[in-house]
Amino acid sequence: MTGRRGGRPLVPAYLSTGGVARPSRAHLERLSVLTGCGEPAPADLPAAQAALLEELEHGSLTVMEAAALLRLPVSAVLVLAADLLDRDLVLARAPIPPARRFDPDLLKRVADGLRDLKHR
């Protein structure tokens, strides 16, 4: 996946997935966290999948982070990750849900209470 001038890769993204357009795992998301299993990469592993496994040797990454490092579209990395999951070479965990928003009324009451304490 060596780049050329302008930063675009020489190999189109659909070739890095073997022409597969959709991941075999529907539960994978852009913020799913990928972790390598620590198993050595098989010799028959396609280059893009091997590159993803190599990036995961340094620690866990979200699908989006892996896409940025590999300079591939997120959709292509979803396909690569799903294939590696099918081969038990990576683990995937659902994204961490965003924290619930605080009740603005509660925040106002806490601020008012702190102001009252300050003035005592």
pLDDT tens for each residue of 17-48:
666 666 666 688 889 999 998 888 888 888 88
Domains of the chain: total: 1
Q: Look at residue 2 and tell me if it is in a domain.
A: no
Kind plus residue range of the DSSP H or E element containing 68 = helix 63-70
Kind plus residue range of the DSSP H or E element containing 33 = strand 33-36
Q: Look at residue 29 and tell me if it is in a domain.
A: yes
Q: Look at residue 1 and tell me if it is in a domain.
A: no
Q: Look at residue 109 and tell me if it is in a domain.
A: no
Predicted model pTM: 0.67
Full residue range of the structural domain in which residue 35 is found: 15-97
pLDDT for the residue 12: 61
Q: Look at residue 119 and tell me if it is in a domain.
A: no
Q: Look at residue 110 and tell me if it is in a domain.
A: no
Q: Look at residue 30 and tell me if it is in a domain.
A: yes
Q: Look at residue 112 and tell me if it is in a domain.
A: no
